[in-house]
Amino acid sequence: MAALKILVIPGSLRTGSFNARLAAVAAKELALLDVNVTLISLADYPLPIYDGDLEAKSGMPANAANLKRMIGSHHGVLIITPEYNASVPPLLKNAIDWATRARDRNETFGQVFRDRAFAIGAASEEKIRRASRADGAAADSGARLRRERHSKTDGAVLRRSGLRRNGSAERLRRCRVVARNPAPVDRRRPADDVRPHEAHSY
C-alpha cells in the first residue's frame, strides 16, 4: 500500500508567524508517523486578486494550476491558518479561489477539493493567553465551590451531632463524627456558576 501523502499549507507569510511554525511542527510530527509530507509556502504561488474578467481575458495563471495539481497529488491537506476578521486571511482565500477555478481535462471546477480530506488548524498567541486565563479562572471557581460544598457537609455533620463549629479541624478529627446521611458531592458534575469562556471573533 502506498504511503499516505499529506500536504501542509500555512496560511500566513508573516515573518515569525505562529501558524507557519505550527505548520512546520505538524509536518515534522506527521513525518515521524511515516507519512509522506509536503510543506509548501503560498509565497511560491503568487497570484493576482481573483477576478473573473481577468480570468476570461488572460486565462488561468500558471501558479493557480500548479497549486491545484499540488493539492491533487496528495491524499489529504492540512491548512494551518490564522484568523483574520472572523475569516481566513485574504492570501489563503485568494489561493483557494484560484485553485477552484483551475482544472485539467475531464475535471469539474473545484473537483480537487471534493476528492480528498481536508483539515484546518490554527495558532494564536492572544487566544492561547485568553484561554489560559479562562482555564485558571475556572479552576479557581471549581476549587472555591468544592470548599463551599465541603464546608456545608462539615456543618451538617456538626449540627446532626449536636456540636457547634469551633473552627478547629484537629478537634473535629478527634471527635470522629460521621453523618448518617451526608449530602453527596458529585465531583464529576461541572460547577453551575462557572460559565464557559466567551469566544472572541477577532
8 Å CB contact between 9 and 40: yes
Do 25 and 119 belong together in one domain? Answer: yes
Is 58 a residue whose pLDDT tops 70?
Answer: yes
- 30-39, 121-130, 156-165: the lowest-pLDDT one: 156-165
Averaged pLDDT score across all residues of the chain:
77
Instruction: Give how far Cα 30 sits from Cα of 13, 108, 161, Å.
Output: 22, 31, 62
Q: What is the pLDDT of residues 21-42, one digit of tens each?
A: 999 999 999 999 999 999 999 9
Could you give the number of structural domains in the chain?
2
pTM for this entry: 0.62
Domain that holds residue 52: 5-124
**What is the reported pLDDT for 123?**
87
> Residues 75-114: pLDDT tens digits?
999 999 998 888 899 999 999 999 999 999 888 888 999 9
Give the separation between CA 113 and CA 99, rounded to whole angstroms.
9
Where does a domain end: 92, 124, 156?
Answer: 124
Looking at 71, 95, 124, the residue that finishes a domain is: 124
